[in-house]
Amino acid sequence: MIYIREFSQYVEKPKKPITLLIKDKNGSVIASIYVDGDMLGEIRKTIKATLMSQSVFHQYTPGKRFYDIRTVSTPQGQIYTEYVAMMPNNITVLHRIVYKALADGHVVDNAQDLLDYLKRNTDLFKPTNKFFWSLYATVSGKSDLGQQKESDAEVFFTEYAKSKGINVQIRRPATKQEDALESIDLMFNHNGKDYTIQVKTLDNVSETILDGIEYYKVVISGDYTEMKTDYFVVMSVDNLKPSYIFRGKGVITMEGHYLVPKTNFVHKA
């Protein structure tokens, strides 16, 4: 079915290595699981295949694609398919799966252990399983927060531009592909040129020096993606702490934080 192919395109993202840090209740790291790009691709493929094998997600709605927001009815509750589409790429989902495996007494020392656990426990992604709803709450909650922060960022950036005597009309990407694959959250046109903005939810900012270059170390709540936009806006989860606008060029994506050259600083408030 065509919307299944569109689903596959929507969830596709660069397969970069990640490290899953597993912590105890006190926040101390008890395990570190490195996942290279190839293995990450296999893990995403396994989760996606499990979701796609379920007839409930093949309910066709005229005029709707899989990643459009539409509702699937199940005996356990209503499901928005857009949130389901987020599961294969969500790093928090992977963390939750590792914790689940450990709680069930399984050994997960490396990425292969994680993949094997997923293949043996495909029922975790079925709506009849309580754990599915735990994951669903994770992705839907993050999405709601992210959408709110994008709305806040529109106002934040517009007000900053206005303070500089520039009137900009912020708009959302015209296609899902720009949003999902290019990590473009907002756009605007100035003097005939289009500019792009990526928005993240900010946890904290600190200063650091690497190879003699001064950076802001930016820790976010959510997934770390490659910076391809003109501007990088981070909106604080704490209204008492500032939010920031940075230029996007030269921002380095690290494991667990961004490195933003200090020269990229534009505004904070």
Cβ atoms 36, 114 nearer than 8 A: no
Summarised one tens digit per residue, pLDDT across range 140-168 is 776 666 678 888 999 999 999 999 999 99
**What b-and-e string marks burial along 43-56, b requiring 16 or more CB atoms within 10 Å of the CB?**
bbebbbebbeebeb
Q: How many residues make up the chain in this entry? A: 269
pLDDT digits (tens, 9 = 90+) for 118-146: 999 999 998 889 898 888 887 877 666 66
Q: Are 148 and 140 in contact (CB under 8 A)?
A: no
CA pair distance 215, 199, nearest whole angstrom: 19
pLDDT of residue 59: 61
Show me where the domains of the chain are located. Answer: 2-128, 148-268
CATH T-level fold of 148-268: Trna Endonuclease; Chain: A, domain 1 (3.40.1350)
Per-residue tens of pLDDT for the chain, all 269 residues:
344 445 545 555 566 788 888 887 777 888 889 998 899 989 998 998 888 787 777 665 666 555 555 677 788 888 877 788 888 888 888 988 999 999 889 989 999 999 999 999 999 998 889 898 888 887 877 666 667 888 899 999 999 999 999 999 999 876 554 444 457 889 999 999 999 999 998 989 999 999 999 999 998 876 777 888 999 999 998 778 899 999 999 999 887 789 999 999 999 99
Distance CA 246, CA 200 (A): 12
Rounded CA separation 61/39 (Å) = 34
The whole-angstrom separation of Cα 112 and Cα 13 is 20
Write down the pLDDT at residue 248: 96
